Chain A
Amino acid sequence: GQQLNQSPQSMFIQEGEDVSMNCTSSSIFNTWLWYKQDPGEGPVLLIALYKAGELTSNGRLTAQFGITRKDSFLNISASIPSDVGIYFCAGHAGGTSYGKLTFGQGTILTVHP
């Protein structure tokens, strides 16, 4: 089946630093989504991307839909302690995989004040 490789698996950064993470796939996706999950809670949607090359921002977060449609990137600028959590990418291939989101393994972000 389809798989998403998300990296890095974990990051330890100082407050104020910028963060970059990415997701790659061996197959094409029509939609890329980025979620954040806090301990004991469900994932919260951060950004949705629908077109190759699309660059979308949500506050300090910026995500891009890779031009090959096989990757996506998430950047967080000027990190703060509440950015701590697990970040997941998810892709939707469309067609016969209707409704099936494939998730990456997650990036665990720790921010030191």
Chain B
Amino acid sequence: ETGVTQTPRHLVMGMTNKKSLKCEQHLGHNAMYWYKQSAKKPLELMFVYNFKEQTENNSVPSRFSPECPNSSHLFLHLHTLQPEDSALYLCASSQGTGYEQYFGPGTRLTVT
């Protein structure tokens, strides 16, 4: 595997389900990010992790819970989501938090 990978690529879940999104970067980077991309809106930064420590939570509702066990892996745990949470969730990584970010292919999430 190369670059940034995300699984699953597509996810449909009910509002009472609990699911997790996984991201793995193979670039040797130190920082990882979660973004939300909704139709007709700019990419919204959700969380930033630098050396496994969360450095940014962009006022994200608690039904989204990130986890970063090491610099290569990032998870987004989802529970009791709302239909408006349906979007493309993108993971990215960078060498440091001030440098260019490289994105994974995203997980298309649909909440029913």
Contacts and interface: CB of A to CB of B under 8 A. Distances in A.
Contacts of B42: 4, 88, 102-106
B103 A99 contact: no
Contacts of A30: 98
Contacts of A94: 98
Contact of A98 (B41, B55, B90): B55
A45 interface: yes
A111 interface: no
A96 to B, nearest CB: 11
A45 B95 CA distance: 14
19 contacts: A30-B98, A31-B99, A35-B103, A40-B105, A40-B108, A41-B105, A41-B106, A42-B92, A42-B104, A42-B106, A45-B102, A92-B98, A99-B31, A99-B94, A100-B45, A101-B45, A105-B40, A105-B41, A105-B42
Contacts, number: 62
Contacts of B7: none
B102 A99 contact: no
A88 to B, nearest CB: 7
Interface residues of A, number: 25
A97 to B, nearest CB: 9
B56 A100 contact: yes
A31 B98 contact: yes
Nearest to B40: A105
A98 B105 contact: no
Interface string A73-113: 00000000000000010101010001111111110000000
Interface residues of B, number: 28
Interface string B14-55: 000000000000000001010000001111010010100001
A99 B48 contact: yes
B11 to A, nearest CB: 14
A99 B105 contact: no
A-B pairs, 7 with minimum CB distance: A99-B97, A42-B103, A99-B48, A103-B43, A103-B42, A48-B100, A98-B97
B80 interface: no
Contacts of A104: 42
